[in-house]
Chains A and B, each alone.
Chain A
């Protein structure tokens, strides 16, 4: 998969600032995500990467600076608004409802209603259509080891649950999918599957922002790596140009990087 870094970024920030009292969580941060890439965001604890991600997913409103979606300036006041514009977030703590089934979870908060009077007056759900689309999406992402789309999510393994969350974001995310530590709670084999799933989503054309502490995972799937330090981007590297120890060194300030040297 080749990514063209001359085109307009899908998601971009310029000079983003967020202060909490005397603490500056985001300090004039720049950020670019290009179409068709997996961009990993790494940074030490307290570097402000989660604030940056919150700003991008609408969970936080920046004090200064601008966010561009497809080159157009946008403002989100809530995660719902970001979602309405096609930015989906997969949360670390598996935001699925255990007692509901897979199809219900995929469409939770965005249910489809039956056409005609049944839908408009009686607000009747179109369960058949939702199950059909859920089955399609799960099959598309190679998650069809899950036999029964109407089984409760609590009967799935951790990796399969994460699969449901990823499928939901892929189903509705039209522009960007943000994944916050998608493998943190998973075992080795399950992480493997989720990483493959992430690549699968990227290969279907959705750019992904991956936040992870797991360097091997980052270096395996990322096209580029955004390194965050002291509230802003210090460097963008690629798995080809730098090693994991370089990345850790940059992240912790042990190594300085000239911006002009860094990738894209």
Chain B
């Protein structure tokens, strides 16, 4: 029995065959792209462009209003120092938001890890490097717990981390006995804990090791997201988990790895935090949660997952830092800083929606 490509002509097939002669312009309109539309397309193609433009405009505006004082290397490095913690925690938050999740517990993980690092070094007399490692281990375990709640118990990330935020924060208060470890005590017993707060002089700018570590962290995670299979799988999982699964990606494993990694990054943030404030305080970094989400959103990451760049978060954090610093130098009341950051978030998300519309 053989079969050939020449089928007996059936009248039923004819209606389909004529489709070959169909006109090729399907639903096209006489239309020339306006300048605005081309700009929109450009923003869609380069998601980091929008926050970068805002950053540049803000720097230009503040240097015109405030003058040389704003552009002085010392002030610029101060801004970098001020955004270091938000930047590090923003790295963790970006990873999670790329998977269409959200982590409300990042700040609590950071503070809990810093308290563990402090007590391990001060109260239990561990070597400073070992105390740091134990603290990072705590970050990994807390991230793992979040990951299990989300992948095994199938809780929505918002709810899971809202719960773990409270749990971790309470553990932090209990374990620290709500006491602060003083800066002088740490620098006497375990100066390594504060090392990231030390500065190096680069052309009049005073960069802390913490800021340099943050930049290195951005580079490493950028590499992992863009140049490894794992990174492609993180994007695919956030973009369309069903399609990712059908393509053979074990999405639960990817999610779990992302939450663990985010926990580790938060614990690195704890080390940066100790360097920045000198002491170990269970009340420190209280606003870091929402600040990290702010940086990610202003940086152009989609809260629906799968879209965005890690560098956007760095720029987003810098935008917030520049606005806070600039407004402060201009003598504007702190409450207007908060007001401005709020407007920035709304504008960022609004612009994002506008870019997405009609540029499929």
Contact = CB atoms under 8 A, between A and B. Distances in A.
Report the interface size class on chain B. 35 or more
B228 A124 contact: yes
A96 B3 contact: no
Interface string A92-103: 011111111000
A244 interface: yes
A263 interface: yes
Interface string A57-100: 00000000000000000000001100100000001011111111
A215 to B, nearest CB: 8
B248 A37 contact: no
A123 B19 CA distance: 47
Given A1-B3, A3-B3, A264-B1, A125 B26 contact: no
Q: Is the interface of A mostly helix, strand, loop or mixed?
A: loop
B51 interface: no
A125 B247 CA distance: 18
A110 B248 contact: yes
Contact of B247 (A108, A188, A189): A108
A116 interface: no
A16 B248 CA distance: 25
A87 to B, nearest CB: 13
B7 A263 contact: no
A220 interface: yes
A232 B5 CA distance: 28
Interface residues of A, number: 50
A252 to B, nearest CB: 18
Interface in B1-25: 1-5, 7-8, 10, 12-13, 15-16, 19-20, 22
Contact of A1 (B5, B26, B244): B5
A243 B19 CA distance: 22
Given A79-B248, A97-B240, A155 B7 contact: no
Interface in A155-192: 155, 188-189, 191-192
A95 B241 CA distance: 10
Given A98-B239, A108-B236, A199-B5, 13 more contacts: A80-B248, A95-B246, A98-B306, A99-B235, A99-B306, A100-B235, A108-B247, A125-B228, A127-B227, A189-B19, A189-B22, A224-B3, A240-B8
